């Protein structure tokens, strides 16, 4: 698998508490935007992000952000 699946063409915006989060990079997880292990065998791996304070996060939903796990608006230019 060279390109991730696109679970949605918008960010997953949510209030998050401090802690570590494993963001799904393959797009196959049933627990979007977080990893559920569905990446096994895809050649892709989750990206672990640590939040040090509670905040609203726009997790990338299209899996094409150049800002890793965080939305950069790349979903707007996908074909």
For the stretch 34-76, pLDDT in tens is 999 999 999 999 999 999 999 999 999 999 999 999 999 999 9
Distance of CA 49 to the CA centre of its chain: 10
Cβ proximity of 1 and 26 under 8 Å: yes
Q: Where are the beta strands (DSSP E) in the chain?
A: 12-16, 19-23, 47-51, 55-59
Determine the average pLDDT of the residues in 3-31.
97
User: How would residue 1 be classed by pLDDT, with cut points 50, 70 and 90?
Assistant: low
Q: Pick from 74, 58, 56: which is nearest to 6 by CA?
A: 74
Question: What is the pLDDT, as a whole number, of residue 79?
Answer: 75
Q: Is 7 a residue whose pLDDT tops 70?
A: yes
What are the extents of the domains in the chain?
12-77
């Amino acid at each position: 698998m060279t390109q991730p699946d696109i679970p949605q063409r918008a960010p997953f915006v949510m209030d998050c508490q401090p802690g570590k989060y494993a963001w799904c990079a393959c797009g196959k997880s049933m627990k979007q935007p977080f990893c559920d292990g569905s990446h096994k065998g895809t050649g892709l791996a989750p990206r672990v992000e640590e939040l040090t304070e509670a905040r609203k996060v726009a997790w990338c939903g299209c899996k094409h952000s150049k800002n890793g796990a965080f939305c950069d608006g790349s979903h707007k230019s996908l074909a």
